[in-house]
Amino acid sequence: MLTRLKRPATALTLAAGMLASPLAAQDLDFSGMTPEQRQAFGAQVREYLLENPEVIMEAVNALEAKQAQQQAAADDQLVADNSDALFRDGYSWVGGNPDGDVTIIEFSDYRCGYCRRAFPEVEELIESDGNIRFIMKEFPILGEASVTSSRFAIATQLEAGDDAYKSVHDALMTLEGEPSEPVLRRLADTLGLDADAILARMSDPEITRRIQETRELATRLQINGTPSFVFESEMLRGYVPLDGMRDLVAQIRAEG
């Protein structure tokens, strides 16, 4: 049976069309339908969906794919608009292969459980690949312990250089307990660093500036959690297993 709207269509065709494109319903004008026609239309749509429930999942999958494509395009633009701050800020620690063909950036918090989970996998990715440039962004967002840890790491970089920073970074990623002054002092001593100089440097305004700039960058990139990554132009918000990271690196190279 046909249900007359402004243009003729069967209820089944309309249902399928609306499910295939959730916005399609906006193109239909139901104002000309009588209550009986609306009721009949609704009954036929319901019957169709009960007989073909897979259509709902097809529509949901199509919508999710469309949204993912839109988000990816928006993320690409955000990375492009903030490329200098991301890739060339002049102070973030750079590891791996400085001349690598793929650059990965991580926004990390030392007190973040998923950052700690990702830490050995990121290390394995960089070491086993050999051609990845890795940039670490200090992004302490989980309270005072996070800020203290980041200030200590950056103070180490300012006072003792990049190699010392990497050693401290790795130690903080596996540190148990709170980063109190005695604990940080012992950590520095264990690594053969000048604990007094590093602890005194933690109040340096330059450290405050760096952390603040990274927070502002994260806000512009719509990053509000850790770990968050940038693989060249693609953003990944959240933990990604090692195999997933390897697949993404391979995809970037294949497309490059």
- Straight-line distance from the first to the last Cα atom of the chain, in angstroms, rounded to the nearest whole number: 54
Q: How confident is the model at residue 220 (pLDDT cuts 50, 70, 90)?
A: very high
Question: Taking the model in full, what pTM does it have?
Answer: 0.74
Do 45 and 91 lie in one domain? The reply is: no
In a domain, 170, yes or no: yes
150 with 239, same domain: the answer is yes
Do 239 and 118 lie in a common domain?
Answer: yes
User: What is the pLDDT confidence band of residue 29, given thresholds at 50, 70 and 90?
Assistant: low
Instruction: Report pLDDT for 22.
Output: 45
Residues 182 and 248 in one domain: yes
The CATH number assigned to the domain holding 203 equals: 3.40.30.10
227 within a domain of the structure (yes/no): yes
Distance CA 147, CA 221 (A): 21
In tens, the pLDDT along 50-68 reads 888 887 787 777 777 776 6
96 lies in the same domain as 165: yes
Domain count of the fold of the chain: 2
Could you tell me which residue, 46 or 120, shows the higher pLDDT?
120
Q: Which domain holds residue 44?
A: 11-52
Evaluate whether residue 96 is within a structural domain: yes
Residues 46 and 123 in one domain: no
> Do the domain assignments include residue 207?
yes
Task: Note whether residue 109 is domain-resident.
Answer: yes
Supply the pLDDT for residue 70. 64
Task: Decide if 134 is inside a domain.
Answer: yes
Greater model confidence, 223 or 30: 223
Helix 205-220 / helix 144-160 crossing angle, nearest 10 deg: 120
Report d(CA 54, CA 56) in Å as an integer: 5
Q: What is the percent of the chain with per-residue pLDDT over 90, rounded to a whole number? A: 69
Is 119 in the same domain as 28? no
User: Do 46 and 96 sit in the same domain of this protein?
Assistant: no
The confidence band for 1, taking pLDDT boundaries of 50, 70 and 90, is very low
Q: What pLDDT, on the 0 to 100 scale, is given for residue 113?
A: 96
Q: Which of 71, 178, 170, 161 is nearest to 123 (CA)?
A: 170
d(CA 146, CA 21): 45
DSSP element (H, E) containing 21? none
Verify that 123 and 26 share a domain, yes or no.
no
* Cβ density class 30-48: b for 16+ within 10 Å, e for less: eeebeeeeeeebeebbeeb
Same domain, 243 and 191: yes
Tens of pLDDT, residue by residue over 87-135, are 999 999 999 999 999 999 999 999 999 999 999 999 999 999 999 999 9
Looking at the domain assignment, is residue 6 inside a domain? no
Predicted local distance difference test score (pLDDT) of residue 2: 34
The Cα-based distances of 233 to 54, 91, 193 in angstroms read: 35, 20, 37
